[in-house]
Amino acid sequence: MDNVIFEEAMNRLEEIIRILEDNQTSLEKSVDLFQEGIKLSKICSDKLAGIENRVAKILVDGKLEDLKIEE
């Protein structure tokens, strides 16, 4: 699941939230979706932290470079 693209992970998180808010899902399925959401949230958080570090490095170096986003 680590090779998930950030935007795809965010879209899936939004979908999970909609499903859980609908209250039409069994308890077991809700727990499974919650678990998937937690994993996706961690992936997104890690990807954002990596991008923040790269941007901070660019700002410290004072150089304008091509920003290659690693997925």
How far, in Å, CA of 28 to CA of 51, rounded? 35
For the entire predicted model, the pTM comes to 0.73
pLDDT in tens, the chain (71 residues): 658 899 999 999 999 999 999 989 999 999 999 999 999 999 999 999 998 888 888 887 776 555 566 65
Q: 3-30: b or e for each residue (b if 16 or more CB lie within 10 Å)?
A: ebeeeebbebbeebeeeeeeeeeeeeee
Q: Which domains does the chain have, with CATH numbers?
A: 1-61 (1.10.287)
